[in-house]
Every structure is written in structure tokens, then in C-alpha cells.
Amino acid sequence: MNPSLSTADSAVDRMAEQLEASPQITIVLPTYNEAGNIEKLIRRTIDALGNYPGGIEVMVVDDDSPDRTWELATKVAETDEQVRVIHRRTERGLTSALNRGIRDARGEWIGWMDCDMSMPPEDWPWLAQALADGADVAIGSRYVPGGSDVAHTLTGRLFSRTINLWAGLMLGWSIKDYTSGFVLARKSVFNNLELQGDYGEYCIDMLYRAKQAGCTIREIPYVCVPRMAGESKTAQNAWGYLKRGVNYVKTLFRLRLGLDS
């Protein structure tokens, strides 16, 4: 055999292995009408984690946004191999998008955040450090020392505090921010756990079931800030919070009573 051919074949094999190697972290960005934020969010996420050992990927899961968020994300992906875009034309919903991202993620650790820039991507390394130190799940928390919420109205903050108070009373005080939505977890956590719920209640459900399964959960403080662009997906008034709160309450009672969903 020609030694030079053997060396070339080995080099090709090594390159193929590197291309197929799984990154350490996948960050899922579920989007709908976030054209004003998505490019900045991708870049800030890569700046925060791009040098992390093992590498990262940023996966945008877009629900066919009328403002063509998916198109802007695709342009970024064309010049950066760390970025992937899933353009969903027939599926809708935050929880559905997150489950799709979890299924398709190549990373050993999988995270996600709101895409309105209210959760600072610069805090990802702190969540990653929690997993490196042995945690199974790390969440950005507004309700541990050092964390706060300056993004929402007084009504919104009262609603969030009330839901988390009830969650603590019914499910245990070991978690302070059950409705975080700023999450990094080991991929193995989702082997037998699929997210369920229409909106923020999915996080209550996931954290409680992960805790019941014996997972170690760490809360890392962060400051929730106002969105940079676009329209909020959260409720805008007391009636909106009340309607949304019904599903939160149902979730709390279902988990407390051990009922199937």
C-alpha cells in the first residue's frame, strides 16, 4: 500500500470524526417574531460560550414567524457552522419547539432561554459551571440572592411571585424559581422526561419531575431585564395573567396529587 495514500485516508477519517463529534453544549432558541433580537442573541450566545471546551451549537427553532425570524437566523447559519436553524411550518408552540430542539440536539448538555434578550446570554458560563461541578440541571433564578426581575410590571412580578410561592408550598422549597425558563441540563435528564404544558407551566412540571427522579438542581442568580425589541409573549394585564394562571394551578395540583397529565 502506498504510505502517502494511507496517511491521506487517516487524515480524512480524522476530519470526518471531528465533523461528526458532538458539541458539549446545545443552546435551543425557540422563536416566533423575534427578528429584532435573533441575530444579536445568537452572537451574544456564541461570544459567551464559543470557546467552551468541547464546543457548542446554537439551534434556532422557529415557528414560521411572519417577520421571517427564521430567514435572518439562516443567514447567520450560512456563515457560522455553530448555528443550526429548524424552520417549522406546521407545528406551533413554545413547549413543542423546545421538545423538537431537545430531540435534535447534538450536545451533551442542552439549554434554552427566552429569545427577547430578557435573559442575559453572558450568564450561560455560570450555568455551565454548575453542570461541570456535578449538577444535573442548572437554572437562572430571579429569586435567589443576586437575582431579580426588573423586566415586568408590578402585576407581572406579583403574579410570578404568587405562583412560585404556591409552587414552593405544594412541591417543596428546594427550588425558588419554578417558572424560570432559563435552563441548562444534561441530555440524560430528558431520556424519560418530555416537556409538557402550554406555556411556562412546562418548567414547573420539568423541574419537579427531575427533582423526583433524583436529579441535582442548582439555581444561579440572574437579573431579568426588559426585552430589547418586538412584542412580549407574556400576559399584558391582570385578566391575561389570571387566564394563564389557571394552567399553572392545574399543573401544581396535578403534580402534588401525583396525577398523570
Q: What is the mean pLDDT of the chain?
A: 89
Q: What percent of the chain has pLDDT over 70?
A: 85
Note the pLDDT tens digit of each residue in 123-167. 999 999 999 999 999 999 999 999 999 988 888 899 999 999 999
Structurally, what CATH architecture does the domain formed by 18-257 represent?
Answer: Alpha-Beta Complex (3.90)
Examine the pLDDT at 7 and tell me if it is beyond 90. no
Q: What is the pLDDT of residues 198-239, one digit of tens each?
A: 878 999 999 999 999 999 999 999 999 986 665 655 545 555
> Alpha-carbon distance 94 to 61, whole Å?
10
CA 154, 183, 60, 99 dihedral sign is negative
**In the predicted structure, residue 28 carries a pLDDT above the cut 70:** yes
| All structural domains of the chain with their residue ranges | 18-257
pLDDT at 108 over 60: yes
Q: 12 pLDDT exceeds 80?
A: no
Helix (H) or strand (E) holding 202: helix 201-212
Q: What is the pLDDT of residue 227?
A: 67
Q: List all residues 6 or more positions away from 229 whose beta carbon is below 8 Å from its beta carbon.
A: 34, 35, 36, 37, 116, 117
Nearest CA to 184 out of 61, 252, 101, 261 is that of 101
Which pLDDT score, from 0 to 100, does residue 27 have?
98
Residue 102 has pLDDT above 80, yes or no: yes
3-state SS, residue 221: strand
Q: What is the DSSP string of 114-181?
A: -SSS-S-GGGHHHHHHHHHTT-SEEEEESSSTT-EE-SS-HHHHHHHHHHHHHHHHHH-TT-S-TT--
> Residue 35 pLDDT more than 90?
yes
- Tally Cβ neighbours within 10 Å of residue 19: 8
What does the angle CA 156 – CA 159 – CA 161 come to, to the nearest 5 degrees? 110
